[in-house]
Amino acid sequence: MAANYWDSTQHKYWQFDRKALMNTRQALEKEESALVQQYPLPDRRHLKLIKLGRRLQTRQQAIATAQIYIRRFYLRVEIRKTNPYLVISTALYLACKMEECPQYIRVIVSEARNIWPEFIVTDVSKLGECEFFLISEMDCQLIVHHPYRTLGQLQNTLNMGQEDVTLAWNIINDHYLTDLPLLYPLHIIAAMAIFFAMTLKPSQGGLQTALATAILSAKEKESPSTENSDNNLQKKKVKHLLEWLAKSEIDIAAMIDSTQEIISLYEVWEQYNDKTCKEQIARFVKARNLDK
C-alpha cells in the first residue's frame, strides 16, 4: 500500500489522458462490435449505486471507492458482457471491505434485490464469483486515494465556512460519476470543488468562462470581480482563494476541464429517466441470460 498518492498504483496505472481513455474504450467496443451495435446503452453517468449505498447506510468513502472500481472494471470488460447491477453490488461489497466498513454478503444481495429484483438473484455465490472477476481485472490494485483529505487540509488555509465545505464535499461526491477520477490527480479535483463551492453554484450557466476569467485575472494581479457577492466576508474568501490559486501553480486548464465535466454531468442528470435506463440494460442482460 502506498501512503503517498504519487507513488500509488492509482497514479501509476489508473491515470489517463482523454485520448488514451477514448482509445481504450474504442478498442474494447471494436472487439465486441456486434454487441455494441445490437444493444445501445444509456449514458455511463446514469449508472448509479447511491440507492444501494444509502439503503446500507454505507460511508461515503466506500461508495466513492466502489464507483472508481466500476469505472476501472469497465475499462477492461465490455459492459454488455456483464450484468451491470451485479457489478455495482459487487463493487460496493468489495469497497466496504477495503474501506474497513464491511457488509455481510447476504445483506448486500438482499438490499440489491429490493432495488433491482429483476436483475439480482438470491444466490450469494454469484456475487462472490463477480468479486474475484473484479479483483482480477483490476490487477488486485484496490487501494484508492480520494480528494476528501485534500479538501480537509485546505479548509482552514482557504478560510472555508461549513456551507462551503459541505458544497465542495457534495461536488466531489458527484465527480465520481464522471471520468474525472481517471483523468486528474486529487488536488485538481479538490481545487475545482472548492472553487465551485466558494464562487459559483452548480445550477448557474457559463461556469467555464467564469472560472477562466477569475483565475486569469488573479494571475495577472488584477482585482477579482466579486460584485455579485452578498457580503464582505465572502468577498474576502474569494479574493484569498484566487490569490492562493495564482500562487499555487495548479494546472488551470485541468481545473477548467474538470469544471466543464461537472457542468455536463448536471445537464445529463436533467435528462435522466430511470425506467428508460433499466429497459436499455435489461435488453442485453435478459437476452444473454446474465441475470441467472
From first to last of its 292 residues, what are the pLDDT tens digits of the chain?
457 899 999 999 999 999 999 999 999 999 988 888 888 887 777 676 677 888 898 999 999 999 999 999 999 999 999 999 999 999 999 999 999 999 999 999 999 999 999 999 999 999 999 999 999 999 999 999 999 999 999 988 888 888 889 999 999 999 999 999 999 999 999 999 998 888 775 444 444 444 444 455 444 544 444 444 455 777 788 788 888 888 888 898 999 899 889 988 888 877 777 788 888 888 889 888 888 8
Whole-angstrom distance, CA of residue 205 vs CA of residue 212: 14
**What is the amino acid identity at position 2?**
A
Which amino acid type is present at position 78?
Answer: E
Task: Judge whether 243 and 217 are in contact, CB under 8 Å.
Answer: no
Residue identified by cell 471491505 is: 97
* Closest among 195, 80, 98 to 138, alpha carbons compared: 98
Q: Cell match 464507483: residue?
A: 67
What is the distance between the alpha carbons of residues 202 and 183, in angstroms, rounded to a whole number? 21
Other Cβ atoms closer than 10 A to 168: 26
**What CA–CA distance (Å, rounded) separates 176 from 145?**
12
- Would you say 127 and 86 are in contact if contact means Cβ atoms under 8 Å apart? yes
CA dist 271 and 65 (Å) reads 26
58 grid coordinates: 454505507
Angle between helices 186-199 and 207-219 (to 10 degrees): 100
Determine the pLDDT at residue 225.
Answer: 45
C-alpha cell at 124: 450469494
Q: Under DSSP, is residue 199 helix (H, G, I), strand (E, B) or coil?
A: helix
State the cell numbers at 115.
432495488
Residue 110's Cβ-count burial label (10 Å; 0-12, 13-18, 19+) is middle
CB 138 within 8 A of CB 69: yes
pLDDT reported for residue 205? 42
Q: CB-side exposure of 244: number of CA atoms within 13 Å?
A: 16
What nine digits make up the cell of 147? Answer: 480528494
Question: Degrees (nearest 5) of the Cα angle 208, 213, 215?
Answer: 100
Q: Which amino acid is at 166?
A: T
